[in-house]
Structure 1
Amino acid sequence: MLLAFELTGEHDTLPKAEVLACLNALCIVYDTIMFLKGILVIDAQIRPETLAVLANRLGMTHRIYEVNGMSEPKEDAILAMVKNTDVYKCMEKGSTFAVRVPKNSSYPEKQALIAQVGALIKGKGYNVNLSDPSNTFVLLLTEQTCFFCLLLHSTDKKRYGARKPQFRPFFSPGVILPKVARALVNLSGINENELFLDPFCGTGGLLLEAGMIGALVVGLDVQEQMVRGTAENLNFYGLTGALIVGDAAKIALRDNCIDAIATDMPYGRSSLIAQAGFRPSLERLFPDALAEIHRLLKPGGKAVVVSNFPYSRSLRHSFRVLETYVYRVHKSLNRYITVLKKV
């Protein structure tokens, strides 16, 4: 089965990486067919229930489609492709349909193309229903290819909007937005009922997203106020977790006990760390915390680390760097995302 993922535009490559990380976490065998301008196409055999789990996990994907045909992005080629596509395999007798083209498509005559494709499908014995169709066909258009797709899953934008930091009981400025937090959690490869740790949990944004996909969450912060606030936020969304006030460089957990870690390293908060009686130097905190992350991770486990500077390969830990990304927060601030694997 060919599947197309219509990705969000927050980052050029992070949404793709999230999809692939989730496929790997769910043990789905796939081949990447194409990745171009926010569209990822893979070949994979996925059961409907597994696809539903995948769709529910993703934070940076708008929609998932089944690809029923491909052609050049020219009108005559598109119409010939649709005419030759066997729509009967995905449409029951008496079902209705609609045809869409994404709003961000640069195709010059979208409405005319939609009308012509709709007429071809109607000619096969199906009725149009634009308000509540049984099936929605979508023409995904790139510069080289048109994909004739059937919509399988669409992300509910409201679920992430409802978890924006300002809507939580406990709020602190400068936290990661829910969609990005979900992507970071997914990059860690965590699965349901596995142990997930954030050693700099702050207000609990990463723990919330990990808990939402069924992970068992453990959070730690040097500030008691943050730990109390995280507990309040988790409870607000019906989640629980093990929360600790303490030093991220000295965590009272046994070796090799954590399945996956994601964390946003502190920046610009050295005075708070010093006031709390722990290591005052952020420069020293980073390598010390990484050493502790390495100790706690199970062999083969992943840590996703967000920091204010690039990860240095000179740090003496047995990590393999899998991926690195630069995420622009605003004009004067970039955050560096590094995916590490314990070897």
Structure 2
Amino acid sequence: LSRAALLDEVLSDSGRYWVNPKASQEDLSQNIAEWAHKHLPEGSFAVRTRRLGVGIPGFSRSTIEKKVGALVSSESRPVDLEDPENIISVVISGPEDGPIHQDDIGQNSPIVVWGLSHPGWKRESYSGRAPTERPFFQPVSLDPRQARLLISLAHRRTSETKTVIDPFCGTGGIAIEAALQDIETLSSDLDSRMVEGTLENLASLGTQAIVENCDVSEIASLWGSRSDCAFVFDPPYGRSSWTSGKDMEPFFEALAAAHTIDPEGTLSTMLPTTPEALQAESSDDVEVMGMPWSELEPMIIERGWRPVLRTPVRVHRSLARMVVVCHPAD
């Protein structure tokens, strides 16, 4: 969990309440109170609610906090809003607040989730790590949250990631996030300025990684055969078209090299797509790297990797990227 990129809070002994037309705040509060009598330890407590999306009509954060507090409060469990020993965290999850892509693994029905806030959990802070805060900056720099997300998505339950390999290190966004998690990091770039800049950025944050100046086609001989690898990269983009063989070559070379280095590894990347991908239903006609996904996916599989996750993320109004996670195709 400590390596999760987008995790806000960790709850234990959690409960949930699906919201239907007959649902009410009173019924929800009673459900939470019954749960608390079983799971809330003795000692002072507070109820903290927060909203995801636009919330749920008829469900007020303050009202739920007051009702649950009144139902649960006792001599052994007094309410303490200033310095509680335990916190009941309630998340009111309604529809998304604005345009968003369809999530194949998610659900859009309103739901309320609650549990005990984990006392030892601290949300990851990205202060000082934004691309513009590093000594070496280029417009192509990857946001630290996105870099850590790619690393997180490369995790597999069956094995622990020992090494992160990035053949297009750029300004070092992925190298920094991997090194901060004490994961061995092997980075490279064809542009010597990027290599020097990555080393400078790593040093500024008190971290280190191996960074070499070489073409992606050379990384298999450079790093040799390895195991438990995550190949995490943001390939060069920004060209007017990705449809020519020359433009696609670095990406395909990265796939081939990764399969040579560790055919049992994991691959996590972000590929250029169109903003329309954020609105569309999951479809093989979504354009990725200048071609329909239905054409690109077989090319990825031919090079030893099978996509297991594909979801678009917004970069800005005119640019989106497709997060693609691959496991071995064999």
**Which TM-score bucket, shorter chain as reference?**
0.7 to 0.9
Question: Of residues 299, 311, 314 in structure 2, which corresponds to 1:314?
Answer: 299
Cα offset, 1:89, TM superposition:
4.5
Question: Which whole-Å CA distance do the structure 2 matches of 1:83 and 1:250 have between them?
Answer: 61
- Asked if 1:259 is matched to 2:223, the reply is no
Q: Runs of 5+ in structure 2 lacking a partner?
A: 94-108, 273-288
Query: Normalized against structure 2, the TM-score is what?
Result: 0.75
Tell me which residue corresponds to 1:141: 92
Equivalent pairs counted in the alignment come to 276
- Asked if 1:128 is matched to 2:79, the reply is yes
Rate the CA distance shift 1:57–1:306 in 2: closer, same or farther, 3 A: same
Question: Which whole-Å CA distance do the structure 2 matches of 1:134 and 1:114 have between them?
Answer: 16
Question: Of residues 317, 325, 328 in structure 2, which corresponds to 1:339?
Answer: 325
Which has more strand, going by share of residues? 1
Tell me which residue corresponds to 1:286: 251
Cα offset, 1:291, TM superposition:
1.3
- Asked if 1:156 is matched to 2:143, the reply is no
Question: Which whole-Å CA distance do the structure 1 matches of 2:268 and 2:218 have between them?
Answer: 19
Tell me which residue corresponds to 1:330: 316
> Residues 191-217 of structure 1: CA distance to partner in whole angstroms, max 9, x if unpaired?
877121100000110111111222100
Tell me which residue corresponds to 1:205: 173
- Asked if 1:114 is matched to 2:65, the reply is yes
Cα offset, 1:305, TM superposition:
2.2
Alignment check: 8 A CA contact 1:266 1:307 kept: no
Alignment check: 8 A CA contact 2:255 2:305 kept: no
Any idea what SS the aligned residue of 2:9 has?
strand
Question: Which whole-Å CA distance do the structure 1 matches of 2:67 and 2:297 have between them?
Answer: 56
Alignment check: 8 A CA contact 1:60 1:180 kept: no
Alignment check: 8 A CA contact 1:327 1:335 kept: yes
Letter in 1 for 2:183: A
Question: Which whole-Å CA distance do the structure 1 matches of 2:238 and 2:28 have between them?
Answer: 54
Question: Of residues 177, 180, 185 in structure 1, which corresponds to 2:143?
Answer: 177
Any idea what SS the aligned residue of 1:321 has?
strand
Cα offset, 1:282, TM superposition:
2.2
Tell me which residue corresponds to 1:100: 48
Letter in 2 for 1:253: W
Cα offset, 1:166, TM superposition:
1.1
Alignment check: 8 A CA contact 1:199 1:221 kept: yes
Question: Which whole-Å CA distance do the structure 2 matches of 1:258 and 1:170 have between them?
Answer: 30
Percent identity between matched residues is 27
Cα offset, 1:261, TM superposition:
0.8
Alignment of 1:212-223 (within 5 A): 212-223=180-191
Alignment of 1:225-264 (within 5 A): 225-251=193-219, 252-256=222-226, 259-264=229-234
Cα offset, 1:258, TM superposition:
6.3
Any idea what SS the aligned residue of 1:136 has?
strand
Query: Normalized against structure 1, the TM-score is what?
Result: 0.72
Cα offset, 1:86, TM superposition:
4.5
Rate the CA distance shift 1:193–1:267 in 2: closer, same or farther, 3 A: closer
